[in-house]
Amino acid sequence: MSAIRKLLIANRGEIACRIMKTARGRGIASVAVFSDADANALHVRMADEAVHIGGPEPAQSYLDIEAVIGAAKASGADAVHPGYGFLSERADFARACNDAGLIFVGPPAQAIAAMGDKAEAKARMIEAGVPCMPGYQGEDQSEETLVQEAEKIGFPVMVKASAGGGGRGMRIVEDKAALSDAIQSARKEAKSAFGDDRLIIERAVTGARHVEIQVFADAHGNCVHLGERDCSPQRRNQKVIEEAPSPVISAEKREEMGAAAVKAAQSVGYVGAGTVEFLYDPARDEFYFLEMNTRLQVEHPVTELVTGLDLVDLQLSVAEGAALPFDQDDIDFEGHAIETRLYAEDPAQGFMPHSGKVRLLEFPDMEDVRIDAGVEAGDIVTTFYDPMIAKVIAYGATRDEARAKLAAALRQTKLLGFAHNRDFLIALLEDDAFAKSEADTGYIERNLDRLTKREAPGRAAALALAGAAMVDLPFGDLLTGWRSRGGAGFPLHLVNSSGEIIKAEIALDGAKVTASHGGAEATIEVLSKTEDTIRYRHANRIGEARYARNHSHLEIDCDGAWERYTDLTLAPASEGAGGDDLVKAPMAGLVTSLRIGTGDPVSKGTVVATIEAMKMEHQLKAPRDGVVAEVFAREGDQVAIRAKLVALKAEE
């Protein structure tokens, strides 16, 4: 036994904060590491001490093994917890920690290496007798071979980064015509995210469920499973909602999958917390090994809630050399837990990641609702890292109870500063198919338009609320002191976050604000107004709207709906809207390729440029047929959101 006294967390954001809470409860001092971009981050403020490790790019800081080990030595830490992401599944990092005399809170380096490469892991699982998906994981990585193997497997197929995870470097391909582009795109993304562009190809199962098993092992030969999590609702092959237990797995199938997961872990001499991921085919009632994540999962809280265990506490105990304090028969599963990931991203714009200052962030204080947050109001969400804001998790005696609590908690969550996915999460939780446990891994993609359709905050009173928010002076006690551009009213010319241009007229009459638009009008009576809150009455109903203004931008959150408007009241329409002749950057990021030059003809839908932000690649397409009139950026440029990239003109 070797007691941990000071723990360095080699990570950032939500998971670093979560680990610190358990460490503090054990009397362990915590050490944070931070990049230039994270000097004032929440995990730095929470830690007992913090050490700077480099520049904002992950490769300059959180992925720099030498810098992290140096920080551990400089701080006097005796152990390192890698969290998830970054260095958590790097065998060379685990080895470097051990070589430096540090306790690595994770599995042995050889176990990470064995499971870290998807191709090698799959070969090992086949040898161990764990059910595996038919596919190709060979050394020949030529495109010709990959195409031939895909044809042997039969479409649809899944192209996956061999060294990857988190949905990066992963593409579903429906037919041969799309395979070449998918291979090239997956290679590029895999190289950027993992420094390794090798791929594997597997059969894609229609209607599949993503079910994973939490395993835990100690250094004394004990290994158990802690039940399953269903992570089927996904976008871009990344998990959106996770729950435990799975609503589609029988008790008998749980034990069968649990036994296979334990066998998988034992085959590589595993120690610590790990997750074995399976693809479950409901039509055949069969499951197939996908991969093993040799770390703590993002979704571990749902397992904690249904088992009553603290997985980080167990990790620290096992790392100190203790044996597991229970065996398989001692583990009980009670109730149901569901987790959502609150992200700075716009589902209505292809889940485009966003960045900026958190101007308002409030979570509800509800029984059986857990919040694992990585930022607070006033913090900055940068373009350098994953844009997760928090995880919101609810527990109930039944699935429906947990689902209802979680939807209510999200409605009461207030976030202003950038686009986010809260409204989308609510829509998904309340969707009939999800309620009936019918949402498979492809459900979100098939129903994207419906699930991401925006509802105006304040509904019919939305524009009147916007007008009230834009009045220059806040109300006094008697609702006096109104001042506006037009005396008793003013024109309202807005562009919403979907690019829709809205022209309305605002009329002011004491405490009443009336908005006229498209032949209809709505009037609200403002009961009180502060710098971020409007209480109002509309049609005998009292409501509350939260808002934030930043230069020409106005955000409003009301009735569980969010919208961001650009105020063009004093600007020409063409200047704000951009029209169909410009391709602009939809987010701040790095221009990784420009596929056109001045004078080149383009067709509508042609990819003209790609931008990388938060380790994801985004293709930008021509909005119409035409000719390239001007190119404003170069490959390698770091551009701001809405920066002009390419201008088009009509063909002569």
What are residue 371's phi and psi, to 5 degrees?
A: -120, 120
- Residue 475 near residue 528 (C-beta atoms within 8 A): yes
The answer to whether the beta carbons of residues 509 and 493 sit under 8 Å apart is: no
Give the N- to C-terminal CA distance of the chain in Å, as an integer: 79
Other CB atoms within a 10 A radius of the CB of residue 330 amount to 9
Three-state DSSP state, 549: strand
* Cβ-count burial 10-21 (b if 16+ within 10 Å, e if not): bbbbbbbbbbbe
> How far is it, in rounded angstroms, from Cα 38 to Cα 46?
13
CB 4 within 8 A of CB 24: no
DSSP code for 328: G
Give 227: exposed, middle or buried? Use CB within 10 Å, 0-12, 13-18, 19+.
buried
Judge contact between 522 and 463, C-beta under 8 A.
Answer: yes
**Looking at 575-631, which runs of residues are DSSP E strands?**
582-584, 589-594, 601-602, 607-613, 616-621, 626-631
Beta-sheet pairing, 79-81 with 6-9 = parallel
Listed in sequence order, the residues at least 6 apart from 10 whose beta carbon sits closer than 8 Å to its beta carbon are 33, 62, 68, 80, 81, 82, 83, 86, 87, 88, 93
Query: Which residue in the list 295, 359, 370, 546 is annotated as catalytic?
Result: 295
Sign for the CA dihedral angle at 367, 369, 371, 376 comes to negative
Q: Any idea what the Cα angle at residue 114 is, between residues 111 and 118, rounded to 5°?
A: 135
Beta bridge partners of 506: 490, 515
Distances (CA, A) of 383 to 58, 167, 363, 587: 11, 18, 24, 9
- Closest of 556, 552, 502 to residue 529, by C-alpha: 556
- Burial class of 196 by CB neighbour count within 10 A (0 to 12, 13 to 18, 19+): middle
Residues 535, 537, 538, 544: what is their CA dihedral angle, to the nearest 10 degrees?
A: 20
Give the DSSP letter of residue 177.
Answer: G
| Residue 562: strand pairing partners | 557
Task: For residues 436 and 430, give the distance between their C-alpha atoms in angstroms, rounded to a whole number.
Answer: 10
Which amino acid does the sequence have at 173?
A: V
Active site residue 624: no
Neighbours of 111 (CB within 10 A): 23
DSSP 47: S
Distances, alpha carbon 568 to alpha carbons 491, 502, 550, in Å: 10, 10, 13
In the numeric block, the tokens 């485009």 are attached to: 352
Helix (H) or strand (E) holding 230: strand 223-230
Structure tokens at 169: 């470097």
Catalytic residues, which ones? 295
